[in-house]
Amino acid sequence: MAREVEVRSMRRMMIAFGMTLLSAGGVAAQQGSPPIQDPRAAFAATDKNKDGEIDHAEFQQRITEVFYFADKDKDGLVVQGELKVYDEEDLFEDADKNGDGKLSLKEFVAARFEKFEEADTDESGTLSIEEVVAEFER
């Protein structure tokens, strides 16, 4: 059961990579583009410097974009219902450290970085396309 929850959490993280795919000028995010379901496209969107790896800075930038994209009422908090692509119960259970039913940017980013570390199977401090695809396909 714990492995099943872990796998669902990893899939949510990989969906989050692409949730705010920004086209030129940010048009896609403004129009509310659907999340990217393809891990390769999500990887490409997150790998800003195109070096074939997602480092912590690139990951944090993407996850911050995801947070602000999800914060529909722009109150600086994400609540259940604003993250419709996620299995929200697991997300909030894992990430809502103070138990207030809301995720701050700090809580959201911290929870996603836990998943980054789990996906980094070679412990290089970066995610390769192979690591992202392998986790997405589990």
| Domains of the chain with CATH codes | 2-137 (1.10.238)
* Structure tokens belonging to residue 83: 């993250």
- Specify the residue for token string 């030129």: 24
pLDDT tens-digit profile, the chain (138 residues): 555 545 455 445 544 444 333 322 333 344 444 355 688 988 999 999 999 999 999 999 988 988 888 888 899 998 877 766 555 556 677 788 888 888 999 998 998 898 899 999 999 999 999 999 988 777
Whether 43 and 17 have beta carbons less than 8 Å apart is answered as yes
> Is this prediction's pTM over 0.75?
no
Which one, of 102, 113, 123, 98, lies nearest residue 64 by Cα?
Answer: 113
Rg (CA), the chain: 14
Please give the pLDDT value at position 135.
82
* Structure tokens belonging to residue 77: 């908090």
Please give the pLDDT value at position 88.
52
